[in-house]
């Protein structure tokens, strides 16, 4: 039976009518936070390159040297012949950096979350997830076959109520983002850790947007909350954000990592990250650890922006991170606001359902250590006349 293409066309048209249609813009070149799109130079305020390391000359040079040695691709899965010296060294360095026994690389953050959850949890187990967790965490929970329960955002009382009716001896896992990607707020990790220990449950934290940015050395929200391997036994971080490269990792005990190697289908059955990316990330890690000024500058830029938005009177969501969402409500308003800013020379994404709940469409503004105060002020001037 042939697929009904008219039905697909109708679905696409409905998305357009509801201002939910997604489209791609083609980037022609990147120079720090300046990008060339459709022949226009824009200041990029929607990238996750929080520390500005994606185009750092030493990071780029490390990639080139490793590509000359290993080639561009890895050629195979890690368990076949794709696990190179650069991969192994990066895993060791990430384990030391996060204070864990071992770390394991994945090709993407999505694959890391799918792989970890499905390797550790299965039929008869129960998983508790924050309602605003990233889609990859939710999908991993659903794919695992475990009972899947979502608790109200950061609501410890609601989570405790759900856990109190858990069957005695049932294996359980609490899963949360560290920094929530669309709201920019922090998970209550200390309270979650204490509850997980009382209930003898795993705690899995995906610190994608905190890793590199938060903590005394940049080791993320878990470091900022001073939680060790026993208190947060499953730690996931991504490398395509503050580290400026690509891929992801999970860090934890030796037995945890070995179990994931043996059981995670998204690790076993996919091509390994290019060794050149691992080499570039090792250089990024050096700058994350030594360049405290990047985190300090990022914090100052965010504070400057917050003060300016309050003066304008826009509805800024409560966030201390580099993610600063402006709530607009309707999808049409968000799209119009994003298009307006594009015409003014700023690239800011409109975030709409189903990425965020119905009625909470927003502009998701993100900052980089490569932004300067003048660019922040220019954005504030444009936001003052936002058509909302």
Whether residue 56 lies in the annotated active site: no
Hey, what are 302's tokens?
């965010």
Class level of CATH domain 20-51+292-383? alpha beta
Q: Is 110 labelled as part of a ligand binding site?
A: yes
Domain at 57-290: CATH code:
3.40.640.10
Q: Do residues 238 and 208 touch, judged by C-beta distance below 8 A?
A: yes
Q: Where are the domains of the chain?
A: 20-51+292-383, 57-290
Other C-beta atoms closer than 10 Å to the C-beta of 230 total 9
Name which of 147, 218, 135 is nearest 177 in CA terms: 135
Q: Per-block average pLDDT, block size 10, for the chain (388 residues)?
A: 72 88 85 90 96 97 97 94 96 98 98 98 97 97 95 97 87 98 96 96 97 96 97 98 98 98 97 97 97 97 95 89 93 91 94 89 95 97 87
Sign (positive or negative) of CA dihedral 316, 364, 53, 139: positive
Whether residue 209 lies in the annotated active site: yes
Q: Is 78 labelled as part of a ligand binding site?
A: no
Q: Which one of the listed residues 83, 209, 297, 371 is annotated catalytic?
A: 209
What are the angstrom distances between the C-alpha of 95 and each of 248, 289, 295? 13, 14, 21
Q: Do residues 117 and 127 touch, judged by C-beta distance below 8 A?
A: yes
Q: Which residues make Cβ contacts (< 8 Å) with residue 60, sequence separation at least 6?
A: 280
pLDDT for the residue numbered 2: 55
Q: How far apart are CA 274 and CA 269, in angstroms?
A: 15
pLDDT for the residue numbered 22: 85
* CATH topology match: 20-51+292-383 vs 57-290: no
HSE-up (13 A, CA, CB side) for residue 68: 5
Q: Which one of the listed residues 87, 241, 297, 371 is annotated catalytic?
A: 241
Whether residue 181 lies in the annotated active site: yes
pLDDT for the residue numbered 168: 82
């Amino acid at each position: 039976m042939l697929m009904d293409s008219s039905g697909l066309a109708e679905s696409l048209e409905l998305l357009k009518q509801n201002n939910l249609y997604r489209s791609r813009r083609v980037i022609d070149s990147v120079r720090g936070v300046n990008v060339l799109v459709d022949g226009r130079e824009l200041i990029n305020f929607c990238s996750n390159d929080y520390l500005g390391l994606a185009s750092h000359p030493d990071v780029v040079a490390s990639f080139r040297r490793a590509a000359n040695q290993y080639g561009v691709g890895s050629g195979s899965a890690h368990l076949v012949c794709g696990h190179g010296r650069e991969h192994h060294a990066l895993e060791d360095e990430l384990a030391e950096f996060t204070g864990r026994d071992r770390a394991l690389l994945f090709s993407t953050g999505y694959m890391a979350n799918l792989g970890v959850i499905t390797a550790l949890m299965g039929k008869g187990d129960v998983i508790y997830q924050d309602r605003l967790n990233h889609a990859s965490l939710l999908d991993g929970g659903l794919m695992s076959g475990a009972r899947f329960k979502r608790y109200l955002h950061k609501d410890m009382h609601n989570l405790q109520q759900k856990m109190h009716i858990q069957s005695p001896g049932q294996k359980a896992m609490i899963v949360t983002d560290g920094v929530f990607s669309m709201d920019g707020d922090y998970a209550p990790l200390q309270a979650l850790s204490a509850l997980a220990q009382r209930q003898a449950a795993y705690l899995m934290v995906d610190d994608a947007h905190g890793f590199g940015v938060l903590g005394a050395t940049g080791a993320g929200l878990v470091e900022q909350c001073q939680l060790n391997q026993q208190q947060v036994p499953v730690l996931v971080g991504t490398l395509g954000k503050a580290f400026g490269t690509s891929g992801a990792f999970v860090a934890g005990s030796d037995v945890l990592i070995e179990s994931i190697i043996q059981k995670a289908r998204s690790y076993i059955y996919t091509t390994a990250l290019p060794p050149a990316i691992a080499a570039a990330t090792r250089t990024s890690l050096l700058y994350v650890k030594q360049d405290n000024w990047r985190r300090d500058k990022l914090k100052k830029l965010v504070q400057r922006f917050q003060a300016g938005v309050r003066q304008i009177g826009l509805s800024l969501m409560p966030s201390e991170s580099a993610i600063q969402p402006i709530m607009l409500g309707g999808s049409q308003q968000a799209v119009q606001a994003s298009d307006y800013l594009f015409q003014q020379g700023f690239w800011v994404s409109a975030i709409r359902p189903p990425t965020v709940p119905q009625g909470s469409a927003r502009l998701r503004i993100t900052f980089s250590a490569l932004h300067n105060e003048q660019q922040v002020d220019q954005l504030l001037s444009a936001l003052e006349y936002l058509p909302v």
